[in-house]
Structure 1
Amino acid sequence: MSVRQAGTQVVLIREYHSGKDTEFMTKTYYLIALLGLLLYAASSTAQQAPQIDIDYASFAYDEQESLVELYMAVEARSLTYEEGDSLYTSTIPLELSLLSSSDTDLDASAERVVWEQEMDLQFAVMDPSVITEGQVFLRQVRLTVVPGEYELQIAMPLSGQDPVQASRDVIIPDYGQQESCSISDITLASRITPSEDREDPFFKNGLHIRPNASQLYGEGATNLFYYAEAYNTACAASGTDEYTMLIYVSEANRPAPLTGLQKRSNRPVRLTDVLVGRFNLAPLVSGTYFLHMVILDNANESKVEQARKFFVFNPSADSALAQPVVATETFETSGYASMPEEEVEQGLEHIQIIATEQELRRIRNVEDLNERRRLLMDFWLVRDPTPRTGVNEYRDEFYSLLMYANERYSVQRIDGWETDRGRILIKYGRPSAIEQHQYDRGFKPYEIWNYNNISGEGQAMFVFADLDGFGEYELIHSTVAGERKLPDWIRRISESY
């Protein structure tokens, strides 16, 4: 093990090893590409690399640093075992590095490395022939790091071949601010039970927590367990000794709670409140979902939100789902054929937020009213996730976000959907967490929106600030390609700027 310091102090707390038992979870190969971070062999003719899912979560640690937990799940059947005296063993060399964020395309230099570790993961089984698909070995590493933007790099050396490599962006929030509520990252788990065994490698706050690094549930693993921490909850109590926590599951494209999968509770105010629970996902069909946590104030308004994506593969629920089939609607029989011109133009303005470059060119070049109507119809038709039904869920969610933006972000004579916050909300969906900083001494009001996953980007962050004091929050920095970048954004929002 080696620890490097390069402008950021990092301390390795403890490396956890546990491979005596395995956790069962049914998987299917078409879902593998959806998982958080996966290492695998690129060629079937090359040495077969073990399959590893890697995930992480961050929590409060002290005033300067945050705690980071790295979770690794190794597919037991993907390992090559050597026969020993009484056990079959397997060893995986793994290299982990945490690098400070860079806006350049240059190769990572030593100055960017803030922590690195080489390890040999060792596993043992009685008989490899009885290992079933979905059994995994779990490992966990803990370290502390200064809040900021990082890149996690993982490499698996292979004999006689180039190493298998993967990387992902890692955003570590600052939980040390006492002025506002916050919620840690959410650990998704396959099991959480009470425990007093402090030597248990998965012990935490009186609990045994088995993380689910793949974020996959369903057949064979219908119970989703979760662990998170809420900080400074007094900010939502308004003078009382309780605050309200809402925890629920939603579909990926519809943020409303699913029936039977929500919990609302009044909880005692604490500096740190441990949030632990379980949802039975047996009724859910295969797809992508989110687990949401929301701290509410006395007016039922959200003070801070956190969310975590997960996946469900559930063939039994899929087969029970009967989708009605409706006749394909033509342009002539649709409502678009008689849509007033003003409504058509407004609709075309709206969709420019999410339209492709080719679609934008068509909007600019097509002048005939009927053709513009067809353009609008085609735009929504190709995005309909369930074209055999009479409902376009994608369009409904788009306008749900647009109306929400108008309600929350309209300022003076500007509709909310036209503001920077409205545009980002509509384009990328609801953020996983919002950090509100309206009264930080020495700084102009600002908000940080964190996303756990944006397609093609991974984790992402947006910073909005009220630079002029009129309530219009401008986007001043983002980690998303194509959006405005200002690495020194904290100086821009300083009152002394």
Structure 2
Amino acid sequence: MKKFFILLSLVNLLFSNGMAQQIKANFSYSTFYSPTNESYLETYLYFNGNSLKYKLNSNNNWQATVEVTYIFKQGDKIVDFKKYNIQSPEATDSNAVKVNFYDQQRIALSNGKYDFEISLRDLNLSEKSFSTTQEIEIDYKVDEIQLSDITLIESFKKSETKNILTKSGYDLMPYASDFFPEDFEKMLFYVEVYNTEKVLAKDEPFLINYFIESFESKQIVGSYRGFKRETPKTVNPLLTSFDIQKLPSGNYNLVVEIKNKENKTITLKKVFFQRSNPSANELLISDDYVNSFVAVISPAELEEYIKSTSPISTQIELNFAKNQLSNKDPELMRQYFYNFWLTRNSSNPEEEWKKYKELVKTAETEFSTSIKKGYETDRGRIFLKYGKPNTLTEMKNETSTYPYEIWHYYGIEGRSNVKFIFYSPDIVSNDYPLLHSTLPGEIYNAQWKVELHKRTNQPRDLNETKPRDYMHDRTDEFFTLPR
């Protein structure tokens, strides 16, 4: 299950038409593969009923109607298109609290990368729709053991009649968010394993392992792990849950992996989620900071050090740090800073800080400007969060574009072939804002080529995604084949 992190991940998507009333909806999607050799995408939309405009319908009841449009593009070609209206449950009283409602669609898509555009419009407001685009990839093979996306589940029941919610004999109601507030006691999830009967011998055993790991350290959290022994089938489904009553607030990954009889990991998938659980947070607070490395840090240094952790902080940590920096209590700041590194390396938090501190120094040397610290710049943030790129293409003297850099990572965050494009629209400074990225959760800009060429090419169309051709322009080449 994946979200449009426009961002952030978290993580819920807020569609706004810029007017007084907003459409509020959580959106997520998962990809699957059917035994008929057909891959497909499932979309999940969960609407906040009170965010919509209601009007009287033919039954003399109050009802909202939302127009939903999905467009799938490869380059300039529209590969698939779906447009439909979704109606809310009817209400007899216009002043009553409007119930939330849900929509799910299945769309057959072949393997490949797509620019997926989603648009929402409240038809009772008759305003222009709001659209956003995210790159998605489908890559299911017929001769390899693979996993579907992991789908978070709100509830399930035995299926009586097959319908769009039905999988493996159950009706599954997806949970179209990755935020789990304190009142959630369980996290349900569903995943499918494909092609085991094609790759493994008949009755050859394998394991489906599943666990919760820290998003930051990638370490398994406590006893949040389980497994299921299986033998080859056309599809091996897994529907299970974790009790998360004692899971502290924080950012996590839910991970599912397949291991063969030699205990070798064949494939894995993970999905991000965020937990808010203040009652469990006391378990994480440590008083060891009193005699630790933070005890000798001056208040001024401590303030700067806390600020420098922003690129790798969770949203909860950012909020907490903001409060500490505002209150300026040295002891609380020391406690926060110590616990920040303790959660990332419980055996040696000081060593973890020292390694990061060296990276902060590198970011300061390479990316700082006259008004920004290195970690405050986009390049510094990406460097500190994801590390040094595997390849870096730097172009400062192309006549048709602003100076730009393409950072290429072979693999980060479970994604392969990830690229970031930074550019210098003011040409002279060392500040290169992030223009476009292929990593979900970072800036996605379908018009990045046009923006990059605005130095010499003003677009004729607001929706234009390709600038005019220029002699010796190698932007496409460098982006497609980084070096």
**What residue number does 1:22 align with?**
none
**What residue number does 2:132 align with?**
166
Paired with 2:310 and 2:107, the residues of 1 have a C-alpha distance of 48
How far the C-alpha of 1:78 sits from its partner, in A, is: 1.3
**What residue number does 1:73 align with?**
46
| CA offsets 1:301-324 (integer angstroms, 9 cap, x no match) | 211011111222334334675343
Instruction: Give the one of 204, 220, 241 matched to 2:204.
Output: 241
Paired with 1:241 and 1:70, the residues of 2 have a C-alpha distance of 34
Contact (CA 8 Å) 1:292, 1:308: kept in 2 or not?
A: yes
Contact (CA 8 Å) 1:155, 1:166: kept in 2 or not?
A: yes
Contact (CA 8 Å) 1:236, 1:303: kept in 2 or not?
A: no
Amino acid at match of 1:92: V
Amino acid at match of 2:15: L
Paired with 2:202 and 2:79, the residues of 1 have a C-alpha distance of 42
Q: Indicate yes or no: 2:352 matched with 1:389.
A: no
Q: After TM superposition, list the pairs within 5 Å mapping 1:37-436 onto structure 2.
A: 37-42=13-18, 46-61=19-34, 65-83=38-56, 85=59, 87-100=61-74, 102=75, 109=76, 112-126=77-91, 127=93, 131=97, 136-157=100-121, 159=125, 161-175=127-141, 177-178=142-143, 180-198=144-162, 200-234=163-197, 241-318=204-281, 322-324=285-287, 326-327=289-290, 386-389=336-339, 391=341, 393-394=343-344, 429=412, 431=414
**What residue number does 1:23 align with?**
none
How far the C-alpha of 1:292 sits from its partner, in A, is: 0.5
SS at match of 1:387: helix
Change (3 A) 1:192 1:332: closer
SS at match of 1:221: coil
How far the C-alpha of 1:228 sits from its partner, in A, is: 1.2
Contact (CA 8 Å) 1:61, 1:144: kept in 2 or not?
A: no
Change (3 A) 1:266 1:235: farther
Paired with 2:90 and 2:266, the residues of 1 have a C-alpha distance of 48
Change (3 A) 1:53 1:249: same
Paired with 2:29 and 2:310, the residues of 1 have a C-alpha distance of 37
Change (3 A) 1:280 1:482: farther
Change (3 A) 1:425 1:195: farther
Amino acid at match of 2:67: P
SS at match of 2:221: coil
Contact (CA 8 Å) 2:8, 2:441: kept in 1 or not?
A: no
How far the C-alpha of 1:124 sits from its partner, in A, is: 1.9
SS at match of 2:183: coil
Paired with 1:383 and 1:40, the residues of 2 have a C-alpha distance of 28
Q: After TM superposition, list the pairs within 5 Å mapping 1:484-495 onto structure 2.
A: 485-486=479-480
How far the C-alpha of 1:207 sits from its partner, in A, is: 0.6
Contact (CA 8 Å) 2:71, 2:82: kept in 1 or not?
A: yes
Give the unaligned 5+ runs of structure 1: 1-30, 103-108, 335-374, 403-416, 435-450, 459-480, 490-497
Count of matched residue pairs: 346
Amino acid at match of 1:97: I
Contact (CA 8 Å) 1:290, 1:309: kept in 2 or not?
A: yes
**What residue number does 2:329 align with?**
none
**What residue number does 2:428 align with?**
none
Query: What root-mean-square deviation, in Å, do the aligned CA atoms of Structure 1 and Structure 2 show?
Result: 4.4
How far the C-alpha of 1:82 sits from its partner, in A, is: 2.6
Paired with 1:72 and 1:381, the residues of 2 have a C-alpha distance of 31
**Which structure exhibits the higher relative contact order, with contacts defined as CA atoms closer than 8 Å and separated by 6 or more residues?**
1
Identity over the aligned pairs, expressed in percent?
17
State the TM-score, normalizing by the size of structure 1.
0.59
SS at match of 2:120: strand
Change (3 A) 1:256 1:484: farther
Paired with 1:146 and 1:293, the residues of 2 have a C-alpha distance of 24
Contact (CA 8 Å) 2:306, 2:337: kept in 1 or not?
A: no
